[in-house]
Structure 1
Amino acid sequence: MGQGNGNASPHARDKRGEFLKGHPPVFKHSADPLQADDWLCAIERQLEIAQCDDKEKVLYASGQLQGAALDWWDSFCFGHTEANPITWAEFCSAFRTHHVLVGLMKLKKKEFFALKQGSMTIAEYHDKFIQLSWYAPTEVDEDGKRQELFMEHLNDGL
């Protein structure tokens, strides 16, 4: 018979513990905007592994901010006037808007579309393709589109 005391089940997952077990990086500030984007990607990876919901993602990710980045977050929260809590999509968008220059994201997207195998090995080209495809998410959101773009810029002899 259930105890009915309102306590969490003894089998409840410790998502925060799982998130922290992956040693998510802390973000303070970076002169290189791509490091901010890399931080967000690393955090998102750990949040997915821990299977966090939207509210937990915002809470745990913001807990990894320090210094100037934490000051930005506190200011963002203070200015958030909507009754609804901040969503993960809002967090990511606001973080990128503040820490990653829009022009830089456009440049990286152009770099992705200009990428050719050239003197790289297929493995090196593949790694660079994957790295830069992050900046063109809608262009590689389907496997067929991703494969076509990849094949287009391989050396002709392959």
Structure 2
Amino acid sequence: MIDQKICSGTDRQQYWKKCPKEELDELMELVHRLTKPQGGKLATARIRDFMWMSAPEFYRSKTKENPQFYLEKIRKITQVMHLSEEDSVKLASYRLKDITYDWVVSWKNNKGENVASVTWQMFQDAFLDKFFPLELREAKIEEFINLRQGSMTIKEYCLKFNQFAKYSPDLISNARSSMSKFVTGIFGLVLKECRIAMLYRDMDLSRLMIHDQ
């Protein structure tokens, strides 16, 4: 993977030669920011760790790419690394490729130098507006509302439920509402067992899914 080549030494020079200037400037700026308070070796180590934690790339042109999941995976990594929101945005920007990287460069330039530090929420909102328009998000919400087990196994239904639930946090804002939404899609003996299990005081969605399987 190109990520590991950056840190391997053997192919490092070849990588830098092929790296687009804007992309290289972005990474060097982040190294410079981290170097000031922490020292060069630690800054390099943190960037290496980010690369080795399988930070995803986003092209937009590839099949099965999901803008929402891309953001979630990047944010999980930067939170584990205890990076600031501004540095999280820089690393997320670095993993954008082709037209998506062109977009983020343009977006940052349009904001101007006098704008305060870019927060993760600002970046997330702009990114989703561009690559995951409202109409597509509403379509995902509609799919979640209409989700039923059908011919799926309980395990498959649980996986599908969790995937679509990310788009509809308002529908599952607490344990009771999330369990109620979950049981509307199942049937037969499993439905009966679920309704009984929901009566337990310490029951939540995660426990309910495990109970069903």
> Taking structure 1 as the reference length, what is the TM-score of the superposition?
0.82
Change (3 A) 1:15 1:138: farther
Dislocated runs of 4+, deviation >4 Å: 31-34
Correspondence for 1:139 among 155, 158, 171: 171
Higher RCO (C-alpha 8 Å, min separation 6): 1
Asked if 1:119 is matched to 2:151, the reply is yes
Correspondence for 2:86 among 55, 58, 61: 55
5+ residue gaps in structure 2?
Answer: 1-35, 191-213
Contact kept, 8 Å, 1:105 with 1:135, in 2: the verdict is yes
Q: CA deviation at 1:97?
A: 0.5
Counterpart secondary structure, 2:48: helix
Choose 1 or 2 for highest CA Rg: 2
Q: 125-134 or 51-60, which moves further after superposition?
A: 51-60
1:9-48 correspondence runs (5 A): 14-30=45-61, 35-48=66-79
Correspondence for 1:97 among 126, 129, 148: 129
Change (3 A) 1:85 1:145: same
Aligned equivalents of 1:8, 1:111: Cα separation in 2: 47
User: Root-mean-square deviation (CA), in Å?
Assistant: 2.6
Q: 1:78 maps to which residue?
A: 109
Counterpart secondary structure, 2:66: helix
Change (3 A) 1:49 1:94: same
Aligned equivalents of 2:50, 2:173: Cα separation in 1: 26
Q: CA deviation at 1:150?
A: 0.8
Identity over aligned pairs, percent: 25
Change (3 A) 1:75 1:113: same
Counterpart secondary structure, 2:58: coil
Aligned equivalents of 2:37, 2:73: Cα separation in 1: 33
Between Structure 1 and Structure 2, the one with more helix by share is 2
> Taking structure 2 as the reference length, what is the TM-score of the superposition?
0.63
5+ residue gaps in structure 1?
Answer: 1-5
The number of residues matched between the two structures is 153
Q: 1:64 maps to which residue?
A: 95
Aligned equivalents of 2:188, 2:133: Cα separation in 1: 35
Q: CA deviation at 1:103?
A: 0.8
